Amino acid sequence: MIRRLTTALAFLTRIPVNPSVAHTGADVARSSVFFPLVGCVLAAVQVLVLMVLNAASVPPVLQAIVATAALAWIGGGLHQDGLADMADGFGGAFTKEKVLHIMRDSTIGTYGALALLLALAMRISSLTLIAQVEGAWVWVFAAAALSRCSITLGWLLPYARDTGTGQSLTQLTGPSEVAGALISAVIIGFLCVGLKVISAIALAVVVFVLMAWLCYRKIGGVTGDTLGATTEVSEVLLLGLAATWIAS
């Protein structure tokens, strides 16, 4: 159990958990049950930043920017990188082979840059509103936990490459890991936002279904990049939902 948790932390964050221990694809797949919990660790970093800066009377928009920077640093930009790669590949090519080739390129093109800018804009604007309302930070935890289920749900789809980082998540993850991740994410969401979690779950499901359909239509399955992109899109839209609740 502890090994699964540390593997999940090592895979999704830059936290130096047993750096000398090698983690296999099977280890990562089994650790996926803890992905929503690791999402909460990342959420805690953001919330801590918001609280500290709020106590220092820093303007809300600056709080949101610093919290986003902290997330990018401790999360290693993993999901943001996936979003940029997917946007470049899907926007810049029509054949599966060309799309996958572009997604493997380490450079960021126009589509990737635009996708990142839009995602950052939505995240920062949503966090700005959240920072201004007492107790609204619970949405950061709910969004982080629910969005990480997108990674485990990749188990439902074929892997689009012959090999790759995300292959273990689609081929070695089992029903028990998926069910455990889903149940823990729903419980975390309910404890954070109550019955409003129903709307959050519905949004997360719609995002996953649409992204899964797009991936299957374009490349016949998913990759590590598309799973990361789905997580990022889901999280920023869930934060946007939170901002909408707050604004109304």
Where along the chain do its domains lie?
2-8+32-243
Model confidence pLDDT, tens digit, residues 199-240: 999 999 999 999 999 999 999 999 999 999 999 999 999 999
pLDDT of residue 68: 98
The stretch 78-84 carries a mean pLDDT of 95
pTM, to two decimals: 0.95
Q: Give 248's pLDDT tier (boundaries 50, 70, 90).
A: confident
Model confidence pLDDT, tens digit, residues 148-177: 998 888 888 899 887 777 778 888 888 999
Q: Give 19's pLDDT tier (boundaries 50, 70, 90).
A: low
pLDDT of residue 20: 63
pLDDT of residue 233: 98
HEC assignment per residue over the chain: CHHHHHHHHHHHCCCCCCCCCCCCHHHHHHHHHHHHHHHHHHHHHHHHHHHHHHHCCCCHHHHHHHHHHHHHHHCCCHHHHHHHHHHHHHHHCCCHHHHHHHHHCCCCCHHHHHHHHHHHHHHHHHHHHHHCCCCCCHHHHHHHHHHCHHHHHHHHCCECCCCCCCHHHHHCCCHHHHHHHHHHHHHHHHHHHHHHHHHHHHHHHHHHHHHHHHHHHHHCCECHHHHHHHHHHHHHHHHHHHHHHHHC
Q: Bigger pLDDT: 45 or 21?
A: 45
Q: Please say if the pLDDT value at position 137 is more than 80.
A: yes
